[in-house]
Amino acid sequence: MTLKGGTSQACAACKYQRRKCTSECLLAPYFPPDQPKRFRNAHRLFGVRNISKILEELDPSQKADAMRSIISQADIRDRFPVHGCLGVIRHYDYQIRQLQEELQAVHAQLALYRQQEMSAMPPYDPSQLQLQLGMPRPVDGHALFNQEDSDPQQYNSVNALPIASHPSYNSFCGNVTADYIDSKDNNLVNSFWIQQSCSNGNNSNDQIQMMGSQTDQLIGSQSMQQDVIQDYEFFDVINDRQSFIDLKENHESSSESSLIDTTQTLENIAENELKNAAACLTLTSVN
C-alpha cells in the first residue's frame, strides 16, 4: 500500500492492517515494509493496541529499546511457541551450571597439583649435604652434583606456578557472586529478572538490581525448581551431562593414582641422591 502522491512505502504494520501509513505512525520506525514477519510475530503475541499501551507509558528515550525487546520476545515466541523466552532462560541457566561445574573441576585440579608440588618437594641444596658430610664443595664438580645444582630454584616451584596469580583464578575465587550461590541453592528465580543499568530510569547508573523476593510468588520458586529439574529430562544433554560426570570421575581417579606414583617417584629420587652422596664419600675416602 503506498501513500497517494508519495514515494515512501507504508510500514509493515500499516500494510498488515491495511491502513494509511502517515508520518506520525509510531510503529513505522520499527517495522520496515521489507520485514512483514517481524510485525506478524509481534502482532500475534502482543497486538497493536498492547504494544501502543506499553510505549505510551515510557519515555521517548526508552521506546526504541522497548520495541527491540518486544520484537525479540515475539520472535522467540514464534520460534518456540510453547516455552518462549522462559525456555531460553532455562537453557542459559543450565549452561551456566555446566560451566560452573567445569570451572570448579579445573580449579580443583590445579589446586591439587599445586598442593602436591608444595608438599612433595622439600627444598634441596646439594652443597648443604656436602657440608654435612664434611666435604668441601668440589670445584670442578662431580657430574652428578652438577646436574642437581644447575637449578637451585627447581624445587621451589610454587612461586613459579602462574596459577595463583592468574587473574582468571583470582576473579573466579573473588566473584563467587550471589547469583551463582543462589543458583546452587536452586533459587533461580531471583537471578532471572535483572534491570539493565540504563533501563527504565528507575535505577542509577552502574547498578544492577535483583528482583528477587517478589518473583517467588509469581510462578512459585518451587514449581520453577521442579520445572527446571523436569526440563533436564527433556534435554538430550542429560546424556552429555552423565558423560561429563563419568569423565570427571575418571580424571579424579587417575589423578589420585598419579599422586601416589608421584610421591613414590620423589621418594626414589631422594633415596638415589643419598646413595650417590654415599658413593662419592666412599670414592673420596679411598682416594
Partner 1 sequence: MASSSNTATYNTPCAACKFLRRKCVPDCIFAPYFPPEEPHKFANVHKIFGASNITKLLNDILPHQREDAVNSLAYEAEARVRDPVYGCVGAISFLQMQVERLQEELDAANADLIQYASSCNHRYPHQNMSSALPIQSTTTTQYTSQQAPRQIRPNNNAYYPTPSTFSFPWNDNNASGRGGAAGE
Instruction: Find residue 209's DSSP bridge partners.
Output: 195
- Residue with Cβ nearer partner 1 (135 or 252): 252
- Residue with Cβ nearer partner 1 (198 or 278): 198
Closest distance of CB 61 from partner 1, Å = 10
Closest distance of CB 134 from partner 1, Å = 31
Closest distance of CB 177 from partner 1, Å = 9
Closest distance of CB 155 from partner 1, Å = 9
- Residue with Cβ nearer partner 1 (125 or 261): 261
Contact 73, 85 (CB under 8 A): yes
Count how many Cα atoms sit within 13 Å of the Cα of residue 283 in the half-sphere of its side chain.
7
- Residue with Cβ nearer partner 1 (264 or 282): 264
Q: Which residues of 265-280 are buried (b: 16+ CB within 10 A; e: fewer)?
A: ebeeeeeebeebbeeb
Query: What's the rounded Cα separation, in Å, for the pair 7 and 243?
Result: 61
The position carrying cell 589423578 is: 255
- Residue with Cβ nearer partner 1 (15 or 107): 107
> E strands, the chain, where?
194-195, 209-210
- Residue with Cβ nearer partner 1 (128 or 214): 214
Closest distance of CB 266 from partner 1, Å = 9
DSSP string of 105-136, one letter each residue: HHHHHHHHHHHHHHHH-----HHHHHHHTT-P
Query: What's the rounded Cα separation, in Å, for the pair 245 and 23?
Result: 60
Closest distance of CB 123 from partner 1, Å = 15
